[in-house]
Every structure is written in C-alpha cells, then in structure tokens.
Structure 1
Amino acid sequence: MAPAGAAVAGASPSPSSEGGVPVCRVRDSRLTEISGLAATRSGFVVVNDSADEEPRRRIFFLDTDCRVVRTLRYPSRPRDTEDLALGPDGTIWIADVGDNRRSRETIGVWRLAPGGARPLLHRLTYPDGPHDAEALLLTADGRPLIVTKQGGAAGIYAPTRELVPGGTVPMERRGQVRLPGTNTSNPFGFLGRAVVTGAATAPDGRRVVLRTYADAFEFDVPDGDVVGALTSGTPRIIPLPDEPQGESIAYTPDGRFLLTVSETADQPAGTRPTILRYPAPRVPTAQTSQPARSSRPATASQPTAVTASPAAAGSRHGEGFAGVLGVLVLVGAVLVGAGLLGTARSRRTGR
C-alpha cells in the first residue's frame, strides 16, 4: 500500500545528544506507536501496539529510508501487539501479548511464514494467571519465549508443546531474569529502568538482548540455551538514555549494531519515530561459523532482512512502571493502580 507519508533521506548520521546515531525517520502517519522492530537487508519490519484504529492494524514493511513499501493485514483483530522477531528461516513472529489490565484469558503469537501473505494466530495461556508483557525472544529451534513486564524479576514463559494455528497451547514458567540496576537518564527515573519493554535475538543466535525504557542488556547464549543465559548470565549494559517511550530493539543482520525506535503518539505535534543505531558491545569472532541457532524446517529462503542507510533524526520521551526489589515492587503496584503503567495513551483490553 502507498504510505500516508514518506521519509526524506540524505542527512548524514551523527550521534544524537542521547548517544544513538539516527538511521532514518518514519513519517508515515499510521506509525506513531511502534512497539516491534526487525531489521532486514532491504529495510525494516514494524508493528504498532495500537488496535484502536483500523489503518494501524498492519504488519508494515519499510525500506532503508523508513518509507512504507508494503503492508499486510491481520485476518482477525489483534489486541495489543508488543514485539516482533525474525526467525532463522525468515519467519516473522509477532507477540500479541500486551495486557496492561491483566485481564486476558489468552495471549496471541502471530506467525507469518517466509513469503506468506496471511499471518496465523496461535493462542497461549499462562499457568499462573494473566501478565502484561512486551518482549519476545526465539529459542535455538525458532520457538517463542515471552518475557513479562514487571518490576524486580521478569518471568520467562515458553509453550509446553508445538503451537497450533487457531488453537490454544498452555505455557510454563521457565525461570526469571533480574536486570542489574543502572542510573541511566530517562523520564521515569528508577521506574523506567525497572521493566522489560522489548527484546531481540542476534542473527547467529549467540546473543540476546532485553531492553527497558533506559538501557539494553545483552546476554551471551554460547550453547543455544536462551533461558539459561537469561537466568544465570551476566549481561553487558548499553545505555539508551532519554529515548521517547522506547519499546523496540533489534539487531542489524550482521549483528554489529543494535537498532531502537520509540513510540511518539504522546509527543508534540509533528514528532515522528526515528530509528537509532548503537554499537553492539562485541561481535563474537565465531559468529559466522557453527551457529548455535538451528532453524526449523524452512518453507522458503530467509528474506533479505537491514543494513540501514542514514537519514534524519527524531526526539525523546518515555514511560515506566514498577520498582526493582521489595518496596519498589510495592510502589510499582500502587502506580499500576493509579493508571501510570499505560502512560498517557489508553491500552486495549485483551482476548
């Protein structure tokens, strides 16, 4: 579909005041609540977290200048799509897992096969009641992991068996991840540093990254055990200071950089999301040999997925939630009751 607006490329990238290098600015008016991002050699794939307006309920394909070149509709209405991941075989996974009111009986994971034109919905249930979540990771064999959005220790959940299109599969809690404390500047102070708002898996599967509104935390996955890496590993910290409502993160296809983009729905008029680039802490020398990631049987070749070209810059904002330990968790609960978790925008109820 033709974009409602297009990016203007050509500006040379330079570090922003917050540390990220602008890659390109998204000018399409449908994309102000970007919650999921993946990078391809031909551009980007993004999703909104808003299901309130029909034109926003799409999977958006962007070129390297952030211009929308194609969209795909969902066959049924999504509730709260919060993250996106690109599988080793080119499958696009979309986590329909947002649940700010913790009222959903099921959550959803949409799966778009390589070259496909219709995403399939797989429903999942938690074993211990509803959770809000905004982060999706993939295991070595291409299966989804959900990381919840809560202060202190975030839960890690995985399906107990193969997903069934249109069916419901129970999940199990595989562990929890506690992120180190930081002092990175963000609009919500310690609240913005406490909750996981996005995740990404490196192209070779040897690293994964979680992000908050303030920082990114990269874990090594030397043996393909993502859960083990999150529950027992020590992450490298990449500050993402003062990003506006930063919920998305992705690796470039070569694994050398991290890309982020923020929601701008509550920003001043005319503000548009900008994809920013940060150097990854390191690139393993064995990155191209003996990959830890084994793909599931592929139905098509992996798509050319992003070495992004430079363009203009954007602006900053953020949101937050819970504390890290003890009283901070209690404070977070109080804030949820006060309606601060959802920030200025109104979130959707779930399935």
Structure 2
Amino acid sequence: MVEWGMLLAPMLAAAMAAGPVCRIDDKRTDELSGLVATADGYVVVNDGADEASHRKIFYLRKDCSVRRTVSFPSRPRDTEDLQLGPDGTLWVADIGDNGSKRETIGLWKVAPGSSKPRLYRMAYPDGAHDAEALLIAPDGTPIVVTKSPGAAGLYTPDGALKSGATTPLKKAGDVSVPITTTANPYGFAGRLLVTGAASSPDGSRVVLRTYADAFEYDVTGGKVVEALVSGTPRTIPLPDEPQGESVAYTTDGTALLTVSEGSEPSLISYPLPSPPEPAPSPSPSRTQPVLAQKATVDESSRLPLVLFLLAGTGLVLAAAVALVRRRRPGSGRTGE
C-alpha cells in the first residue's frame, strides 16, 4: 500500500500542476504534430497539410508567436515529428502513412543556421508502416517508432544516410506500450498508439507519448533502443488532450511540453515528478542484535502508523477518482 501511494502521488501532482504556457494563434498551425523547444522559443510542424502555406517549419518565440518560417524545397508527404540532434541539427520526420502504402519515408535535415532542408529517403525491410514518432540517439542515429497498436516497432538506418539515395532500415526491436486508464478522445485505442517522442537535453532520458500518456525511460550509455525494449518507464498522464501527437522536453529537462492539433492550440507544460528517493537503511545498535531490536518494538505503537498510511493512500486514490470523473473524453478526428 505504501509503495503504490509513493508512486501515484508524484504522477497526480504533476498532472494537477499541468497548465498552458501560451496559445499558438497563427491560422496556419492547425494540424501540429511535431514540437521541439529551443533557447529562444519553439519549433513546430504540421502533419500532411493540404495548403502550401501550412507546409512549413514554424519557428516560434517564447510567447508562441511566429518568428519565421522555413519552406521545404519539394512537397513533403506527411511530416509527423521533430527532433533536435546533439549537434543542433533539426530533423523533420516525414514518416506518416495512414494507409501503409508508402515505398519510402523521409527525414528532412536542417543544419544549424541553415534554412534549406535536405531530404534523406529510407525504406522499411518488411513493408510499409505508419509512424508518427522519431528519436535521435546521442550518437546521431535516427530511430523511427511505428504507430503499431500495443507494440511499436523500432527501426534504424542500415548504413549512412545519403542525399539522393534510399537507405534501407533495419528492425531494432519492439517497445510494449504500458496499459493505463487515462481519459482521452479515442478511448482504449488512444492508449495504445505512439504519436510522438522526445529526448531530454542531456540524452539521459527519452519519452514516448500516446493520445493519453507519456512514458519516460532512463537511457544508460546512449543505448536508446535498449532502454525502450527492456526499461521500465515512468508514466506521466496527459488526460483529455484534444488530439495529442507531439511532445518535447523543456530546455532544462524539468518538464514535458505538448500541443494538440486544432485551431489556436495551447502549448501545455507538464512538470516531471522526481523519482522517489530510497529510504535510508536503519543503523542497528552496536550493543543490540537486529532481531532483538525488531522484537522490542511495542506492537501498540504500530496502530497509529498503519492508520496514517491507510489515510494517505485513501487520499491518493480519492484524488485519482476525482481527476478521472472531472475530465471527460472530447471528440476529434484522427490526423496523419
């Protein structure tokens, strides 16, 4: 009982402390699916936009107003995610494929200080997949995360990326999406589909998101795939976002940022809970054996402690029930 209370309390506190940072009121940013934070603001991108004015990379100020835009040299198919590489390179993931029909997917690379995206094409080894999430490992390796329900595939380039050529991808593993009960517009299915990803500024953590939650993994030695395949994530609920397909870390790594598709969306911040510190081990008396110490505890003194712990756990569970009852799934359309 005590352990569940310790685990639930930070998550509920983070969810309750979540709030809007600013509103993006530019009419061109109505299908946002990719997001990164920079020292002077944010960068966002729409997914498969029909209008040419919407098919741009939007650089925002800290108040979410548009500072400048960058155009693609040719029409992208379905840009779904953004990532910043360790060297400051911006990667645009042109990997969406709702019908699973594409022969190739693409990554657009924008070098630091450049305004000319360069396209690198890639091909899956096992047929087409829909995908909306991209990670860049500390060594610069792109990792495409598919939108397969429940078990997302991880794919990495099988060789160096070359402009003007198609690089084959190789299957690197699968990551199981944890099951939650977080409210979202798409119900159970919305909790199974990975719609975005992000790496912490120092590369020590990565996060995957669904329409309902974010799952944060610790990364050791730059081994991102290993962390996703075998690690145990921390869950950050993102309840009732209209159509949450993007996630990013703040530049200091203390919070997650999200933004949904839709007209004039708000950028939302979710403070990250600190992992609970392990309780210090009691030091046994030099003159009394450990077993003797346990035997001398007054049994009547346990009752107030038990009642306190039960009350604390009850408050946590009550808060969880109240949070779910207060929020109701909205309606929305699924995007590319």
Task: Report the TM-score, using the length of structure 1 for normalisation.
Answer: 0.75
- The one-letter amino acid paired with 2:76 is P
| 1:247 aligned residue | 245
Of 58, 65, 68, 1:67 maps to 65
% identical equivalent positions: 59
Of 68-77 and 50-59, the range deviating more from structure 2: 50-59
Q: Determine if the alignment matches structure 1 residue 207 to structure 2 residue 199.
A: no
Alignment of 1:138-287 (within 5 A): 138-264=136-262, 271-282=263-274
| 1:26 aligned residue | 24
Give 3-state SS (helix, strand or coil) of 1:116's partner.
Answer: coil
Does the 8 Å contact 1:200/1:209 carry over to 2? yes
User: How far did residue 16 of structure 1 move?
Assistant: 12
Note closer, same or farther for the CA distance 1:51–1:188 as it changes in structure 2 (3 Å cut): closer
| 2:80 aligned residue | 82
Does the 8 Å contact 1:259/1:278 carry over to 2? yes
User: How far did residue 261 of structure 1 move?
Assistant: 0.2
Q: Determine if the alignment matches structure 1 residue 107 to structure 2 residue 99.
A: no
- The one-letter amino acid paired with 2:172 is R
Does the 8 Å contact 2:15/2:236 carry over to 1? no
Task: Give structure 2 stretches of 5+ with no counterpart.
Answer: 1-12, 278-328
User: How far did residue 318 of structure 1 move?
Assistant: 6.3
- The one-letter amino acid paired with 1:221 is V
Note closer, same or farther for the CA distance 1:50–1:318 as it changes in structure 2 (3 Å cut): farther
Q: Determine if the alignment matches structure 1 residue 47 to structure 2 residue 39.
A: no
Give 3-state SS (helix, strand or coil) of 1:210's partner.
Answer: strand
Q: After the TM superposition, which segments of 4 or more aligned residues of structure 1 sit over 4 Å from their partners?
A: 15-19, 316-319
| 1:35 aligned residue | 33
Note closer, same or farther for the CA distance 1:84–1:215 as it changes in structure 2 (3 Å cut): same
Give 3-state SS (helix, strand or coil) of 2:80's partner.
Answer: strand
Does the 8 Å contact 2:15/2:237 carry over to 1? no
Note closer, same or farther for the CA distance 1:162–1:275 as it changes in structure 2 (3 Å cut): same
Higher relative contact order (CA 8 A, sep 6+): 1
User: How far did residue 284 of structure 1 move?
Assistant: 12
Task: Give structure 1 stretches of 5+ with no counterpart.
Answer: 1-14, 265-270, 286-315, 320-342
How many residues in Structure 1 have an aligned counterpart in Structure 2? 274
User: How far did residue 344 of structure 1 move?
Assistant: 5.5
Does the 8 Å contact 1:198/1:210 carry over to 2? yes
Q: Distance in 1 between matches of 2:142 and 2:21?
A: 28
- The one-letter amino acid paired with 2:24 is V
Give 3-state SS (helix, strand or coil) of 1:229's partner.
Answer: helix
| 2:94 aligned residue | 96
1:187-219: CA deviations, max 9, x gaps? 111111010000000000000000000000000
User: How far did residue 182 of structure 1 move?
Assistant: 0.3
User: How far did residue 47 of structure 1 move?
Assistant: 0.3
Give 3-state SS (helix, strand or coil) of 1:123's partner.
Answer: strand
Note closer, same or farther for the CA distance 1:88–1:284 as it changes in structure 2 (3 Å cut): farther
Note closer, same or farther for the CA distance 1:235–1:16 as it changes in structure 2 (3 Å cut): closer
Alignment of 1:6-21 (within 5 A): 20-21=18-19
Does the 8 Å contact 1:44/1:64 carry over to 2? yes
Q: Distance in 2 between matches of 1:75 and 1:59?
A: 12
1:252-311: CA deviations, max 9, x gaps? 1110010000001xxxxxx411000001233899xxxxxxxxxxxxxxxxxxxxxxxxxx
Does the 8 Å contact 2:243/2:334 carry over to 1? no
The structure with the larger Rg is 2
Does the 8 Å contact 1:197/1:246 carry over to 2? yes
User: How far did residue 17 of structure 1 move?
Assistant: 9.2
Task: Report the TM-score, using the length of structure 2 for normalisation.
Answer: 0.78
Q: Give the structure with the larger helix fraction.
A: 2
Q: Distance in 1 between matches of 2:48 and 2:118?
A: 19
